[in-house]
Structure 1
Amino acid sequence: MKNFRILSLILTFAFVLILAACGGSIGESTSSNGGEADSGLEGSSDSTSGETQSVVLTTAGTSGTFYAVGAAFTQIVNNNSNVLDVTNQASGGSVENVRLIDNKEVAFAMLGGDSAVDAYNGKREFEGEPRKDELKGLFSMYSQPLNLVALADSGIKSFSDLEGKKVAVGAPGSGSEVKSQITLESLGLPYDSGVKQQYLSFSEAADGMKDGQIDAAFVWAGVPTPAVQDLAAIRDIVVIPFTDEEVEKVNAAQEAIYGETIPGGTYDGVDEDIQTLAVNTQVVAGADVDEEIVYEFVKQIFDHIDDVHAAHNSMKEMTLESAPKNVIELHPGAKKYFEEKGVLSQ
C-alpha cells in the first residue's frame, strides 16, 4: 500500500508538470504586441526587431478573382517569410479598399487600375480628395476584363439589348459599379433610366441569374471568374461582345478602360473570342507603411513568381518586368526591390 501511495504521488506530480508546460504554449503569438497598430499592422513596426509583422491585404468579394489571388499571395508570403504574416481580407472592392487604406485599417489593397488612378488624382468617386501623399503603388498584376454575362435564352445579344433590363452592376459603391456606370452612360444608356440596375456582388449576380431574377450582369474580374464559371456549369450563358466603336467611346470617357479579348473556351458554351473592355489591376499600400515591410512583401511575391503563376490563370500575365509599369507612384519599398532586380533605372 505504501508503495502504491508513493507511485500515485509521483504520477500526480508528473501530470501537474505536463499541464503547466502545455498551459504555457496555449495562445502564444508570434508577436509580443497583440494590439493593432497603424496601417493594418500588428506587432512592432521595426522589421529588424526579429518579431513577425502581421499585416492585412484587402481584396474583394470571395467569389471574385481578387480574393483568390489574395489567398495565393498570402500563402506564398506566409510560407516563405520569417518576418511577415499576411491575412487576406474580403471586402466590397476597390472603392472600399481605398477607404480602408485611408483609415489605416489595412496595409495593402488590391485595386482596379481606374480606381487606383482616380484615388491618386482625386477624380470621380474620389473627387477633390487626391491621395498623392497617402497612397503608393507596389506593382501591377493582370487585366481585369468585363464579363458582361446574360443567359442564352434571354434574347440579349448586344449591348443595346440591355435597355430596360434588370442588370447587376456590382456591389454598391464598388469599383465595379463605377466602371459599369461609366460604360452604360458612355454608350447611351442613362444610369437611372436606361437599365434597372441591381447592386449585387458577383456571387449574388450569378445566383440571381440562376433564379431568373436578373437578366444580365457586369462582372469585372480576371478570367476565368469563379462566379461566371459556376453559372455556366448550371445554365447556358452568353458573354456580350463590344464593337470597336463601343470600346473607343468608353475609352474616351475613362482612359484607364481599354479593349481586351476573352479567349473562346474560357467558359462552358462560349467558344468564340469575345471583344470586351478591361482595366489593369494594381496592389497598393498606404504611404506610411514601413519601407522594409513593403520590400519583404514584394520580394516574396516576385522571388516565387512561378508559384504565383500556378495559383490562377490570370496571374500568368504578371512578370517582374511588367510589374512596375502602369502603376501609380511606387512605394519606396517596392522601388527598392525593382531597382535591385534591374527593372527600374537607378
Structure 2
Amino acid sequence: MKEASMRRLLLSLCLILILATSAISVGCGGEEGLSLVTASVGGDVYLAGVSLGEVLNRYGPVTVTPEASTGSARNVELLEGGYAEMALLSALDTYEATHGVAPRFEKNHAYSVVMPGHMAAFYRIVREDSDITTMADIKGSGARIWPYEMTRKYGGVWLADLNALQKYYDFTDDDLTAISYYTLPDMIDALKEGRHDLLSYTLGVPNATITELVNDVDCRFISIEPDILEQICEDNPYFFPYTMEAGTYEGQDQDVHMVAYVYFLIVKNEVDEDLVYDLAKALYEHYDELTAIHPLMKDYSLDHIDRNTVAPWHPGVVKYFKEKGVWTSELETLQNKLLAEVQ
C-alpha cells in the first residue's frame, strides 16, 4: 500500500509541476495576453485554471496566463484592481459581484460567464485519534480549523459556510483557535503533524490530494446531518447537498453528506466580443483535451451550460452558442432576465 501511495503521490506532484510550469511559461504574451486568476497551488481550482490555460494557449488567439491566488473572493479584488481579465469564481461570488449584493459589493461588477465549471464540496476531515466526531463537538473545543480572520475579510463561500455552521451547530469564533495558514498544502501538513484539528476545504470528488492524505494518515470524514444540510442549502441557494458515497476513499465505509457548489469561468465585459468568441470556441471544441489533462474538467462542457442561472453570458459566448445551435429560447429568456438584473 505504501508503494502504491508513493506512486500516486509522485504522479500527483508531477502533474502539479507540469501545470505550474505551464502557468509560469505562458506569461510572455505581452500586452495582448490575458491573466486568469485561480486559487492556491494544489487545489482543484488552481488545477482547473492551468488546464484551461493549457488548452487556450494551444488553440486560443492570445496568451492566457493562469495565476495562483487565495481563492474566489480574492479573485474579485484582483479583477477590480486590474490585475486580471479572467477568473474562476464560485457561484456565490459570481452572483453577488455581478448583482452588486450588499454589504460585500457597492456596485454591480461588469463580468460575464464564459462557461460553468466543476463542482466543489466542503470536506471536513480529522485524524482518526481526534475527539471531534461531529460538527457539534466544535463548541467549546478551541479547535484549529479555519483561518477565520481571513475568511471574514474576504467573504465568499467560506464565510457563508462558516456562518451556516455556526448558526446550526451553535458555536462562535471564540470556540476556535485562529490559524495563520490557509493554503491546502499547509493545512494538509498541519493535519498530518497534529497541528491542525479539522481540515475544512473545498475540492472536487474524488481528489488526489485527499487520496494521498487518507493513505498516509488514518483519517475520519465528518458528515453534516441531512436535516441541517437541507437547511443550510435553503438559506444559501448557491449551495446544494451532495452525498459522497461510501468507498470513495480508503477507510471511508459510510456515505458523507456535504455542502457543494459550482465554479464559473468568467471574463470582464470589456474584453472584446470576437476575442471571447475565440476563447469559448477553443475551450468548448477541445473538450477531450481538457479532460485528458485532468478528470475534473469533465464538467467544462456544452452539456452543462444550463447550470448557469447566476450571471449573463458574454456576447462572444452567445455568438458561439448560436453558431453551434445550442442557444435556446429558454436561454434567451434567462439571459434577458439576468441582463436586466445587473444593469
| Shorter-chain TM-score tier | 0.7 to 0.9
Match of 2:314 in 1: 331
Q: Is the 8 A contact 1:308 1:315 kept in 2?
A: yes
Q: Does 2:161 match 1:183?
A: no
2-structure distance, mates of 1:223, 1:209: 20
Q: Does 2:245 match 1:263?
A: yes
Give the SS at the match of 1:272. coil
Cα distance per residue 1:209-229 (max 9 Å; x no partner): 011111102111222334423
CA 1:65–1:282 in structure 2 vs 1: closer, same or farther (change >3 Å)?
same
Match of 2:275 in 1: 293
Give the SS at the match of 2:196. coil
Q: Is the 8 A contact 1:109 1:285 kept in 2?
A: yes
Match of 1:59 in 2: 38
1-structure distance, mates of 2:170, 2:278: 46
Which residue of 123, 127, 138 corresponds with 1:151? 127
Q: Which amino acid aligns with 2:138?
A: L
Q: Does 2:258 match 1:276?
A: yes
Q: Does 2:105 match 1:122?
A: no
Q: Is the 8 A contact 2:94 2:311 kept in 1?
A: yes
Q: CA deviation at 1:311?
A: 2.7
CA 1:91–1:125 in structure 2 vs 1: closer, same or farther (change >3 Å)?
farther
Match of 2:48 in 1: 69
CA 1:250–1:146 in structure 2 vs 1: closer, same or farther (change >3 Å)?
same
Q: Is the 8 A contact 2:138 2:171 kept in 1?
A: no
Q: How do 1:37-186 and structure 2 match up within 5 A?
A: 42-43=31-32, 54-81=33-60, 83-123=61-101, 126-131=104-109, 134-163=110-139, 164=141, 165-168=143-146, 172=151, 173=154, 175-186=156-167
CA 1:124–1:162 in structure 2 vs 1: closer, same or farther (change >3 Å)?
farther
Q: Does 2:288 match 1:310?
A: no
Which consecutive unaligned segments of at least 5 residues does structure 1 have?
Answer: 1-28, 35-41, 44-53
Give the SS at the match of 1:294. helix
Q: Which amino acid aligns with 2:163?
A: I
Q: Is the 8 A contact 2:115 2:300 kept in 1?
A: no
Higher RCO, 1 or 2 (CA under 8 Å, sep at least 6)?
2
Q: Does 2:231 match 1:249?
A: yes
Match of 1:3 in 2: none
2-structure distance, mates of 1:234, 1:80: 39
2-structure distance, mates of 1:311, 1:223: 16
Q: CA deviation at 1:245?
A: 1.1
Give the SS at the match of 2:108. coil
Give the SS at the match of 2:73. helix
Q: CA deviation at 1:69?
A: 1.2
Q: Which amino acid aligns with 2:35?
A: V
Q: CA deviation at 1:343?
A: 2.0
- Structure with greater Cα Rg: 1
Q: CA deviation at 1:194?
A: 3.6
Give the SS at the match of 1:153. coil
Moved over 4 A (4+): 169-172
Match of 1:12 in 2: none
1-structure distance, mates of 2:155, 2:250: 28
Match of 1:342 in 2: 325
Q: CA deviation at 1:115?
A: 1.4
CA RMSD of aligned residues (A): 2.3
Which consecutive unaligned segments of at least 5 residues does structure 2 have?
Answer: 1-26, 330-343
Percent identical across equivalent pairs? 25
2-structure distance, mates of 1:264, 1:310: 26
2-structure distance, mates of 1:300, 1:308: 10
Give the SS at the match of 2:303. coil
Matched length:
296
2-structure distance, mates of 1:185, 1:281: 24
TM-score (norm 1): 0.78
Q: CA deviation at 1:276?
A: 0.7
Give the SS at the match of 1:166. coil
CA 1:287–1:265 in structure 2 vs 1: closer, same or farther (change >3 Å)?
same
Give the SS at the match of 2:267. strand
Q: Is the 8 A contact 1:148 1:217 kept in 2?
A: yes
TM-score (norm 2): 0.79
